[in-house]
Every structure is written in structure tokens, then in C-alpha cells.
Structure 1
């Protein structure tokens, strides 16, 4: 067995994530000897407990106690798993413990165990007892032997060395597993007692058997022979009476049978006469049926040509029917198509009429509003004129605004009486306004010229109306050359009147514009005068400033003169504004003209829309007219096709009628299949009739032959019965009953004698059985006494009530073997010493000091280090002894290496390392510092906070 991997989770102080210790991977794999080290209580021994948990479900240190206490506190799951090699297989043993619901405060569940093949993944066992059994079978080690061959504890062997012989026997028995010898010793003692009890029991059973004496048995046998002879005689008499009864019964039954056969023969004779008559009638019917069958066959053969012709007729009729169906389907589809086309044509005609109605209504409307056609050009010209007037009006309003600003400036100039400095600003403002007024007047003049041109064009457009009145249908227009004049009527009188009103307003506007221009000119003149006055005021102000120093009155006069000049300028502005008021009336009339133009524009748009719709309707009319024409042409073609189909149908129906007449002439009203079936049935019926007649004739002939045979048989039977009854008395029923009674009496006598004989025979047989049992009992007693003597001898050799006799003998042999194996290791560990069993003492050990002339010394004379080496040699020897049938390749020693000095420790370690050549890997559990320095391959159990530890591998 070789341990490869150990996995631990939440066992004692090894708490937290799953910890894995791989002994099959560097640095431990090639070390030979490695150290398991760590502080006291850190969890070193927990590694060993995990191995026994996984393999045997028990913790090494807990003994028979439950291992559940090994679960780390405040955890919900624990795991111990070992991968090992045994029997050429790599196996994995798992022990797992969980709490309910995966909570740390849950109840503990039953531990789960499993054994699986690592390479194939096959689960070999899952029940706890099965896992232990598999492990024992594969490794050859139960838990006790595992603890003494794989896990070696130093304390056990120190006790072994220092124990007394009786205590050493118990220790050796537990260590080597030799308890079986004590059991054998006790068992030999117990079985010897049991054998003695068996001998006494056999004697009691033999004494309980009572057998007859030889004289009594001979007398009983003679009585049995006499009874047997009487029984034989009675049986013979009974057989004679039984034979007489049987003979009487047979004679009576034979007489009765002869009478029954006679009656049956008469019945058969009458049946034979009747059957002869029936045979004659059936023969005639058979001949008639034959003639009918021949006639039916002939009639069937004569119908065959008719059926061939009828088949051809029906084929032609079927083809005509298929053609008729196709033509009907074609007619139906054409009819449906015609109906659909008619519906579509009707729908298109309805839509055409609707479009025509709409087109007529649109034409009427266009005719009624023909005058609106020319509104578009006149409206455009009027709009251009109105736009120009509006622009002029806007400029005029700007000029008015500027005039208002001029008045405000005049007021400001008036205020220059108190503030001469403001007069300069007012004067500059007036100049600026004057310049703008001049520019506005020029722009207004230009716009009036433009409006005059527009009015001239409007007049030219109006002159078109005079030309339109001279147009005639069919003659070209002198302006556009068109021969159609849809808008030559004078229906546009209202629009003409509106245009004339606009023109009149335009004329008035021109007059008012002239007035405005004159007023503007006067305003400009007034502005010039005001500017002159302002210049004078400035001059007077300057003069006043010059004279201010000389006298105050001249300055007052200058200020008064300036004020007068300002008033004159304001008066000039007022005159200009009064002239402009006359133009306001013209502007109100212009608003009326603008409203009239908007109405004309709306009517022109309506006319254009109606004209567009009329054109669209004309296009739609042309399209729908074409569609209706197409539908009408299609209807004509469909109608002609329907007529053709109807004509073809009438012709084909005539041909069908002719063929059906021919078929009726051939077959009548029946179809070909019906006529063929009718004649076939007639022929078959004739055949069946002939066959039935032949069968009935044959049956009757067979029955006639059977009757004849029965008559012959009855005659023979009657002859035999007559021969049997010849020369025999007539036996009545009373004779038969008397014979029966005599036979029954004889049978009762035989039965009584047989019962007496059976009782006597059973007594003799019972005595024989008792004699046989007594013989067997004597033989059994002899055998039991011989067995008792053998077990008594064995008890004398090895047996004892406490089992010590044979156990001591076996343990002495085992101890000698153990000492031999231990001395092999002691030669390396301590060459000075050898272990030896003391002669003449049970299980007592001594030490041989080779350095002191091989003197024997008691074990107590060894020092602590020497005792440890001797104990280690015994431990290694015991491991070999326990694993003699199953090699142990992994060894874990929990020894006290602290008792050794440096040199001895080096020798011990070297000796353990040499075991590597035997294929062993040894793990030492110790916290001795020199070992940590000596062994580089280490498994360190490091203590962390909170009572937890972790595993670290170092190489």
C-alpha cells in the first residue's frame, strides 16, 4: 500500500478551504524521508487522523469514539480524502460529514463514505461497511493492523519494552493481532467440555430406547406369518366371488346388448330403403343440374362478343362524358368570366357616367365663370401696382414719422430758449431729416412712375377684353392663334368692374401723390427756411455770447430771435403736414381695392382648380372610355365562345344519345358490369347448383355405404353375442345382486385381516427401527467418546479457560520473529545492541551489549535515546511483520526524536533514509529543530489566528 494524496477540509484546526498534500509530487515524491513539523496543537496528528477517517471511518486518536468531534467549530461540512495505491490499482477513499441545510448550526447528518477507482472513476462502494471491507481486501490491513504497520506511535513500543511479561503479552497481542491464539486456547477448552456433554447425552438417548427381546420378536414374527396366510386365503375367496359377480354382470349386459343391436339393425334396414329412394331422386337432380350448367356456360360464352362491343361503347361514352364535363366546366368558367366582365363593365360604365356627370358639371361651372380666366393676368398686374403703392405708402409713412420727429425737434428747438446747446443738435437733426425727406420724395416719385407703367399694362390687359368680344368659333385668335375660345363670353363683368375701380383709385392716388409731392416740396422749403433761421439763431447766439460780457439785454434779444426762428420752422412743418392729410383718403380707397383684389385672387384660384379638375376628368374619361370599350369587346368574344360551347355540347350530347341507344340495344337498361355480373352469377349459380347436387349425391351415397357398413357390423356383433350366450344360463338381476353381495362380504373379510396384519407389521417394524436407532446411538456414542478423547488431548496441549496457554506459545514465536526483524534495523540504528528473548521466561526481553562481550542486560538499563532506538527498531520490525503479505510503501512515525543526541539522530535518519531502497516513503512527525535542519522536504503545519492552521510544503 502506498499513500499518494491526502485532502483535508474543516478538521480540527485545519479549517477553511480544501487543503491538499501530494506525496506523489515534488518535493515529497523523491525525498524518501520527509518531516511533518509544526507547533504543539497546530494539527500535525490531524493529518494521520484524516487518513484513518477516509480509509476506515475512524480517527486514529479517537479509538471507538465517534469521529464527529473532529469537525471544525462553526463549519457546515468536513472532508477527509486519501488517494492510495494497492493491488495495482489507484483508489480514492472519501469521508464526508455535513450539517443539515448547509448551516453551521444545523444538525449533524450521517457521515458519507465512498471508494472509487481514480483512473476509471468507477464507484466501488458507498456504504460504510462495504468501503471498510473493500479497503481491508485490497490492502490486507484492518484498522488495528494499519495503526501498527503504517502509523507508528512511539508510546506503544516504549510501554512494550518496559512492561511485565503478562502486560507485554497483552501489548504484543494488540500490536501483532495475535488475539486469535487466545481465542483458540479458550475455544479448545470450551469445545472439550461440549464434547463431554455430548457423550453424556448420547448415553442418555441410548438408555431411553426399549427394544423387544429376541424371543418376543420371534413370537411376533410367527404371528405375522399366520396372519399373512389367512389373508392370502381370504383374498383368493374374495377373488372367486368377485369373478362370479363379474361373470353374472357380463352375461346380463351381453343379453341386453344383443337386444339393443337387434333394434338398431331394424332401424338401419329402414334407413337403407329410404336412402335408395333418395339416391334415385338425387341422381336425376344431378343430371338436370349438369344440363343447366352447360346451358349457362354456353350463354356466358355467347355474351362475350356483346360485352366487348358494349365495353367499346362505354369507353366512347366515358370519353364523351369527360369531354362534356370539360366543356361544361369551360362553359361554367366562361359564363362566370362573362358575369364578372359584365359586372366590371357595369361598374366601369357607372364610374364613366359619374365622371361624365362631374365633367359636365365642371364644364358648366367653367362656362359660368369663363370671365375668371382673364383675372389671373389682371390680378398679377394689379398686385404689382398695389405692391408698388404699398412700398410708396411705407416710405410715405416713414416720411410722416420723420416729420413727426421734425416736430419733436422743433419743440426741442423751442426749448433752446433755456438751453442754447440743444439748438445745435436740433439743427443737425433737421438737416438729417431733410436729407431723408429728399430721398423719400425721390423714391416716391420713382414708384409713381412704376405704378403708372403697371396701370398702363393693366389697361393693355383690359384691352384684351375688347379683342375677346370679337372672337368667333373656328377662327384664330389674333393674339395667340388658338381656334378654340373657351373664355370668350363676357361673364367677367364683376371682375371688370373691380379692376376699373382699382384703376380709378390708382388715378386718384396719382393725383393725391402729386399733392403729396407738392406738400413735401413745401415742407422741404419750410425746412430750408427753418435751417436758415437756425443758422441765424446760431449767429445771433454767437453774437449774444460775444455781447454777454458787455450787457445782459442783447443776449435776451438774441434768445428771443432764436425762439422766433424756431416757431417759424415749426409753422413750416405744420403746413407740410396739412398738405399730407389729403392723401389719407386715397389710402383708405386703396384698402378697398386691395380687398377686391383678394376676392378676385380667390376666384381666380378657384377657376384654375376647376379647370385643372376638368382636365383631369377629361383624361379619366378617356381612360375609362377605353376600359369600357375593352370590356365590351371581351363580352362580345365571351358571348361568341359561349355560343360555340353550347353548339359543341348539343352535338356531343347527340352523339352520346346515339351511343347510349346502342348500349341499351346491347345490354338493355343494365350496365356492362351489371350485365356481366348477372350472367356470371347465373353461370356460377348453375355451377354451384351442379356442385351441390353432386356433393349431396356423394354424401347420400356415403351415408348409404355407412348404413350398409353399420348393418354388417351389427350383424357381426349379434353373431358374436349369440355365440357368447350359447350354452350359458340366463342370468337375472336377482342372480347378479346375490353374486354382488357375496363378493362384498369376502372383500370385508380381506380388509379386516389386512388391518390386523398391518398393525402387527407396524409393531415389528417399530421394534426394528428402535433396534436400528440403538445401534446408531451406540455407534454415535463410540464416535463421541473418540472425539472427546481427541479434544481432551488438545485441551491438555493448548487449552485453558483464560486462553493464556496457547497465546503465550504463539506470542513467543511471534516475538522471536519480531526480534529478528527488529535486530535487522537495530544493526543500523545501534550496532552495539541486539534484542533477545530470555530463555525459560515467557515473553521477557533482554538487551545484548556487543561492546561488552555480548553480555545480556535488562531493558531498563538502556538510556532514553537507546530505548528510543530499540523502540524504533521494534516499530519497523512490526511494520514488516504486519505487512508480510501486502507490501507497505508508506510509513508515518510519530516518535520522540527529541531524546536523541545529534550523532544518534543522524544515524537514525540515515537508517530511515536507507529504507527508501526498499520502496518506502517515511513521514516523521516531530517538532525537533535539528530534524528541520536535517530534512529539507517538509510538510509544515503553520498556526494562524483564531485557532486555525494551514499546510505548507517546502523542499
Structure 2
């Protein structure tokens, strides 16, 4: 697994969107102050893959993944593996119930060079809870092994060194892909148990074939031979039996034919009601004649009434003339009334005009009298128009003090007279307006009525008088009533005629049916010698037919007695032959239908019995063959059980896989020891004793001591040597499909090294990344080590969020 692109948004200290591009960064360092978020980058890679971070101490805990001030976060990792490019995405959501992982996906990009842009074509491999198992299967490592061999977190760098032997063996089994042998053992044990159960099942099935014995087969073959002989004897007897059966059938048919003819002849009788049918036919003919006469008279009366009505003046023109006469009388009367009203209103208008003129003369006189009086009292007339602060109309001086009013009784009287005269003129003008409108309205109505009278007189010119119109309407109404009555009578006579015709048709059908019955009774009897009949006289024909039928029935009765005697003799001969055949069938146990003739059932019954016997022979042969096959399969299942059981025993965890792990651990320790010698300047050598790691100190008389007794710096050197050996040797040791450790991320320990060892570690990491094609990422505070790394990611913390900047020397 080799990271390509890491996106963080709202993850831990990275509250803002952050993108880290690992392309062309096979060897990089994460540098920055303590607490800036360097280890969080490694945590994000692990979280994107496994939804957990080792530093949290609990795989189920995800609350630390989401930044405290955000409600939503996302981690997206693009990585390469085995020539393909994948994308692992996990979204974080804060709800009332806490922080949860949502919308997790594992996708494979169709283009190995793409970076998972929204428009890139992808194939979804897993989603939600299925993502982590899919990642474990894809990479080949569970979470615990990944943080032991790939992403080594703070505090856990030496976990592989200090693990218990059994736990270390489990890790190596997963890393080397040796779990296939465990699966082989499990499959072999499962196969052994399955074959054992299969063999037991086959043995139980063989118990069901106890009937397929050699004596049973011989007995079935003997039954076939016996039935074949019976079949030959029956085929020889069938012609005789068929002859007797034909004689019985012929006698039965003769008896049945005579009995049937006798019964048919006895049933010949005159139908009930046939004699009354002639009387009803005559009555209905008379009724139809009467109905025809009444219909002709009604049609004549209806035609006459319609012609008289058509000759009379139309009702609409007569009614219109009557309405016009009535309207003319009413309009002329209104015209006279309106003329008088108009004349009266014209006279009233003239009176109002005369009074108005007189009032206007009086107003003129009042105004002249007021002006004369005002000139004699100028001061009194002006004083009411003065205003404080205004100018005097006489001297144009400013009025500062309002003088008191002057009394001028005659001037006031003149003013009141003028005002009263003006009011009277206004009132008379209003009356003139009303009188003028009334007079105009009367004149307009008078003109309208005069025009309507002229129109009506023109319309009535040449028409009869009102009395003549009224008389014509009365005659028209009488003609209409007569026409309606004639039409009603015509309808009734037509209905009566139709009813009489229907009744006559029914009687005719009955007569025709009676004739048909006669023919139906006589025609089938022609073969029996029925005489010819007079069809024009049904009564006489029925008499002749009934008499002949009685004589013919008596003749058939006599012949039927002789036919019954012949039938009894034929049945006796048939019964004797059938008894011999029944004895023949009973010997081999053939079952047959006793209710049907032997000629129909004997041969099919023997054939069915023979087929059953032959089928039983075939069944026994087949069951014996099946039993032989089952026994062979049982023996094969027992052999397969033994083989699978042996293989499962050999592939147990303490067998072949343990030997492989021990061999791989020997090689791993040998290479780690070489690395450790280089890192410790030849001081230490790494060995193991039954899975427990020991260190040989060449500066202390080659003394051996457990790895747990090493100091912090020494522990780092040994752990780094093991990690590098795992990364280098695993591809050669692992089986096909094992984990591929293409990357390693180190997050501790460099501060415990002296300058010489640090130089050796730096050179080792450079060789691993540059020459051996591994991606190596380190987290360090040591400037001397960081400066030697070709790519650096500087992590900063500020304004509440961490940020990353790529630096290339």
C-alpha cells in the first residue's frame, strides 16, 4: 500500500480543508513544533483505511477524529496497490448521540493515473460497515498488524519486538499469507467430517436395498414366464368369446329395437286442444276484418279534419292581429291622456316663466333701492368690511383699532329685501327646470305614442275587424280539437288492428305448429309402415294415424317375447366361456374388471400384469445396480475421509505452518541482525530462542540478554532493524496473496540516538526508500535528520487549525 493523496477537512486538529500530495515523495519527513499535528497525518491515513487510530486506545472511539468546533468532517485517501489505484473515504457527523462515521466507501479508479476527481470513473468495492473488512482483505493486514508493521505510532514502535511468541507468529502468518495453510487444514477437517457423514449416509441408504436379492429377482422372472403363457392361451380363446359376445349383442339389439318401436307407437295420440284451435282461427279472422273497417273510417275522418284545418287562416297571424287591435285601442286611449297632460304642463311652464320674469324685475328694483340707500350710508356700508391690521378702502391707512358698528336701519331693510328677492328668483328657476323637464317628457311620450298608433294602423290596414278576427280564432280552435280527436281515434284503431294482427299471427303459428306436430309424429314412423295422411284435414289425419299406431304396437309386443328367448340362450353360452377364462386368469393372480366384458378386459389385464412383472424385474435389476454403486461410493467416501483427516493433521497450526514461520523468523532475525550491526556499529547482534528475541552484546563478552532489558535508544535500533528487515524480506518470504509492505511510517525514537547512530539510521532509511523502492515517512524534531530527507511536509498550528506545506530542498 503506497499513499498518493490525502485530504483532511475537520479531522482532529485539521479544521480547514488540507490536501497532502505524496506523489514523487518516496522519502519524506513530517516536521513542525510539538502539538502542530504531525502524528495526526499518520492517524488520518490509518483512519481512512481502518476507521480507528491506535493513539485513542479504543477501536470503537471516533469522537477524537472530529474537530471540536465542527459538526462534519471528511478523510479521503488515494493509494496504490498492486498496479491499481484505490480511494478510501470516511465522513464524520456530530449528532445528539455523539460522533459517527457516515458514507464510508472503498472505490477502485478505472484510470490508475487519476486522483479520484468527481468526474473520474470508479467502481465501488464496499460501503459503510463493509469498508474495513474489504480494506483488510485488500491490503492483507488487520488493523493491529498494520500499526505493527506499516504505520508505527508513538509508544508502539517496539511492539513487534516485545510481542509474545504466539502473537508474533500470528502476525507473521498474516504478513506471509500463511493463513492459507490454516484454511487448508480447516477445509481438510471439514472435508474429512463431510466424507465421514457421507459414508455413514451411504451405509444407511444401502440398508434400504435389502429387497434386491437374487431369489427375489428369480421369482419375478418366473412370474413373467407364467404370464406370457396365459397371454398366449387368452389370445387363442378371444375369437370364440367374441363370437358369443356378438350373438348376445345382436339379441340385445333386437329386443331393444322391438321395445323402442313398441314404446314409440304407444305414444302416438292427438294433441290436447287441437279441436278448439279451428274455432279460434275463425274468430280471429272476423276480428281482423272489423279492425280493418274501423281503421279505414278513422283514416278518412283524420284526413278530412287535417284538410279543413289546413284551409283555415294560421293561428299565429290571427293572434297577432288580435294583439295589434288591442294594443291600438290602448295606445289611442293613452295618446288622448298624454295630449291633455302635455297641454297642462305647457300652460304651467308658461305660468312659471311669467312669475319668474316678475320676480327678476322685483330683484332689480331691490338692488337699485339698496344701492341708493348705501350711498346715503357709505360709512355704515364700509365698516363691516374693515379688518384689524388691514388698509382702509377710503384713506388707505392701516386699521389698528376696529371702530364700533354704525346703525343704518333703512340700509339693513334694503339688504334683506334684496336677499329675499334673490332667493325667490332661485326658487322660481328651480320650478321652471322641473316644469320644463315635465313638459319635455310629456312631449316625448306624446310623439312616441303617435308614432306607435301610426305603425299599428299601417299593420292593420287590410285586416279584418277585431270581431271577425275573434270569430276566426274560435273556428280555428274548433277545427284543431276535431283534428286532435280524429288523430287520437286513428291511433286507437291502428293499435287495435296491430293487436288483432298479433293475435291472428299467434293463432296461425299454433295451427302451423299443430300441422308440424302431426308431421313430426308421422315422419319417424314411415320406416315402421306409417300410412299417407291428408294434410288439409288434420283431424281426419290424426284419427287414421292413431288407429294404425295401436295395431302396429300390438304386433311388436308379440315379436318381443320371441326375441327375449333368443337372448337368454346366447347369454348362457357366453357365461360358460367367460367362466373358463376367469379360472385361467386367477391362476397367476391377474386382476381385471368384472363389470366389463372379458373381450375388453382380459387381454389388457394380462398385458398390464405382464408389464408390471417385467417392470419388477427391471426394478430389481436397477436396485441391485444402485446398491453396487452406493457401496462403491461408500468405499470411496471412507478413503477420502482418511486422506482429508491426514491432511488436516499435517496442516495444523503447530505443524507445517509453524515450521514455515520458524524458518521465516530465522531469516528475518538474520537480516535484522545485519541491520542492527550496522546501526550499532557492530555492538549488537539479534537472535531468537523459541520465538523470544535476545541481543548479543559484543562489547560485553558476547553476553546475551532479553530485548526488554535494552535502553530506549537501543530498543529503537533493534525495532528499526526488525521493521526494515520485515519490509525487505517479506516479499521473498510471503506466499502469493500475502500482504505487500510497500510503505513504512515511523513516528518516534530518533531523539534517543547519538549523532553517529543517527547518521547510520538516516543512511539506512535513504537506501530503503531510494534504492529499494519503498515509501518511507518519518516524524521527527531533529533538524539534522530532516535536512537529509528529500521531501519535507512542514506542519503548522495557528488560528485554531493545523496546516501543511510541502518543502523540497
Shared fold (TM-score, shorter chain, > 0.5)? yes
Q: Give 1:181 deviation, angstroms.
A: 1.8
Change (3 A) 1:364 1:335: same
1:96 aligns with 2:88: no
Give the TM-score taking structure 2 as reference length: 0.56
Evaluate the alpha carbon distance shift between residue 362 and residue 724 of structure 1 in structure 2; reply closer, same or farther with a 3 A threshold. Answer: same
> 1:634 maps to what in 2?
448
Deviates more, 1:223-232 or 1:929-938: 223-232
Query: Is 1:875 aligned to residue 727 of structure 2?
Result: yes
Tell me if structure 1 keeps the 8 A contact 2:28–2:776: yes
Kept in 1: contact 2:362–2:421 (CA 8 A): no
Structure 1 residues 880, 109: CA separation in 2 closer, same or farther (over 3 Å shift)?
Answer: farther
1:175 match: secondary structure = helix
Structure 1 residue 382, shift from structure 2 partner: 2.8
In structure 2, relative to structure 1, the CA distance for the partners of 1:636 and 1:616 (3 Å cut) is same
Alignment length, in residue pairs? 679
Rounded to whole Å, the distance in 1 between the matches of 2:261 and 2:789 is 124
Once the two structures are TM-superposed, the CA of residue 693 in structure 1 deviates from its matched residue by: 8.8
Deviations along 1:707-732, whole A, 9 cap, x unmatched?
44544688999999999985543899
Partner of 1:147: 146
Deviation per CA, 1:203-224, whole angstroms, max 9, x where unpaired? 9859988969989869987998
Cα offset, 1:165, TM superposition: 7.8
SS for the counterpart of 2:89 is strand
Q: 1:579-594, aligned counterparts within 5 Å?
A: 591-592=406-407, 594=408
User: Aligned ranges for residues 552-563 of structure 1 at < 5 Å?
Assistant: none
Residue 67 (1) aligns with residue 57 (2): no
Deviation, structure 1 residue 608: 1.8
Q: Distance in 2 between matches of 1:889 and 1:171?
A: 13
Residue in structure 2 matched with residue 386 of structure 1 by the alignment? 377
Report the equivalent of 2:416.
602
Contact 1:269 1:711 in 2 (8 A): no
**Structure 1 residue 262 and structure 2 residue 262: aligned?**
yes
The 1:90–1:813 alpha-carbon spacing in structure 2 relative to 1, beyond 3 Å, is: closer
Superposition map of 1:319-338 within 5 A: none
Q: How does 1:163-178 map to 2 (within 5 A)?
A: 168-178=168-178
2:102 maps to: 112
Is residue 951 from structure 1 mapped to residue 807 from structure 2 by the alignment?
Answer: no
TM-aligned CA distance change 1:349 to 1:700, over 3 Å: same
What are the residue-to-residue correspondences of 1:708-857 with 2, within 5 Å? 708=522, 710-711=524-525, 727-729=563-565, 775=628, 778-795=631-648, 798-800=650-652, 802-806=653-657, 808-809=659-660
In structure 2, the residue matched to 1:905 is 762
Contact conserved, 1:189 with 1:799, CA < 8 A, in 2?
no
Contact 2:89 2:104 in 1 (8 A): yes
What is the alpha-carbon distance in structure 1 between the residues aligned to residue 379 and residue 212 of structure 2?
178
With over 3 angstroms needed to count, the CA separation of the structure-2 counterparts of 1:119 and 1:891, relative to structure 1, is: farther
1:347 and 1:150 map into 2 onto residues whose CA distance is 132
Q: 1:135 to 1:712 in 2, by over 3 A?
A: farther
The 1-side partners of 2:492 and 2:589 are apart by: 89
Q: Measure, in 1, the Cα distance between the counterparts of 2:265 and 2:478.
A: 66
CA distance change for structure 1 residues 928 and 255 in 2, over 3 Å: closer, same or farther? farther
Counterpart of 1:625 in structure 2 is 439
Query: 1:601 Cα deviation (Å)?
Result: 0.6
State whether residues 268 and 710 of structure 1, in contact with CA within 8 Å, keep that contact through their aligned partners in structure 2: no
Closer, same or farther in 2 for the Cα pair 1:795/1:99, shift >3 Å?
Answer: closer
Distance 1:212 1:267, change over 3 A: closer
Change (3 A) 1:208 1:322: same
* Counterparts of 2:725 and 2:132, CA distance in 1: 30
Counterparts of 1:910 and 1:656, CA distance in 2: 142
Name the CA distance, whole Å, in 2 between partners of 1:641 and 1:940.
117
Relative to structure 1, is the Cα distance of residues 204 and 883 closer, same or farther in structure 2, using a 3 angstrom cutoff? closer
* Correspondence 1:929 to 2:743: no
Helix, strand or coil at the partner of 1:94 = strand
> Structure 1: how far apart are the matches of 2:782 and 2:505?
122
Contact preservation (8 Å) 1:57, 1:128: no
Q: For 1:173 and 1:928, locate their aligned partners in 2 and report how far apart those are by CA, in whole Å.
A: 36
Task: Specify which structure has the higher proportion of helix.
Answer: 1
Find the aligned partners of 1:890 and 1:324 in 2 and give their Cα distance. Answer: 122
Partner of 2:701: none
Structure 2 stretches lacking a partner, 5+ long: 108-117, 387-393, 396-402, 531-551, 592-608, 696-704
Whether contact under 8 Å (1:185, 1:807) holds in the other structure is no
State the alpha-carbon separation in 2 of the partners of residues 351 and 136 from structure 1. Answer: 124
Q: Select the residue among 17, 20, 35 that pairs with 1:20.
A: 17
Partner of 1:6: 7
1:391-540 aligned within 5 A: none
1:893 is aligned to 2:707: no
Between 1:646-655 and 1:261-270, the stretch displaced more is 646-655
How far apart, in 2, do the equivalents of 1:845 and 1:877 lie?
A: 18
Mean Cα deviation higher: 161-170 or 883-892: 883-892
Aligned runs of 1:288-307 on 2, under 5 Å?
A: none
Compare 612-621 and 160-169 and name the one that shifted more: 160-169
3-state DSSP class of the match of 1:901? helix
Looking at CA atoms only, which structure, 1 or 2, has the larger radius of gyration?
Answer: 1
SS of 1:67's partner is: coil
Contact map agreement 1:151 1:892 (CA 8 A) in 2: yes
CA distance in 2, matches of 1:819, 1:722: 129
Instruction: Give yes or no for contact 2:338–2:446 (8 Å, CA) kept in 1.
Output: no
1:79 partner SS: strand
Q: Summarize the Cα distance change of 1:347–1:655 in structure 2 as closer, same or farther, 3 Å threshold.
A: closer
Query: Offset at 1:607?
Result: 0.5
Distance in 1 (CA, whole Å) between partners of 2:12 and 2:498 is 105
- Alpha carbons 2:157, 2:719 under 8 Å: kept: no
CA distance in structure 1 between the partners assigned to 2:666 and 2:451 by the alignment? 132
SS in 1 for 2:565: coil
* Change beyond 3 A, Cα 1:82–1:615: same
Q: How far is the alpha carbon of 1:786 from its aligned partner? A: 1.9
Structure 1 residue 182: Cα displacement: 2.6
Query: CA offsets, 1:125-170, max 9 Å, x none?
Result: 9973355577679x67675599379953379886657889866533
CA distance 1:210–1:664, change in 2 (3 Å): closer
What's the counterpart of residue 600 of structure 2?
none
Q: CA deviation at 1:173?
A: 1.6
Contact map agreement 2:75 2:89 (CA 8 A) in 1: yes
The answer (yes or no) to whether the contact 2:727–2:742 under 8 Å persists in 1 is: no
Query: Cα offset for 1:253?
Result: 11
Q: Distance in 1 between matches of 2:471 and 2:161?
A: 133
Question: TM-score, normalization: structure 1?
Answer: 0.49
Question: For residues 159-202 of structure 1, what are the alpha-carbon distances to aligned partners after superposition, in whole Å with 9 as ceiling and x for unaligned?
Answer: 65788986653321233443232342355467557756876x57
Helix, strand or coil at the partner of 2:637: helix
Q: Secondary structure at the match of 2:377?
A: helix
- Helix, strand or coil: the match of 2:17? strand
Given that 2:795 and 2:803 are in contact with CA atoms closer than 8 Å, whether structure 1 keeps it comes out as: yes
Match of residue 376 from structure 1: 367
Aligned counterparts of 1:365 and 1:897: Cα–Cα separation in 2: 132
Distance 1:214 1:184, change over 3 A: closer
Q: CA deviation at 1:633?
A: 0.2
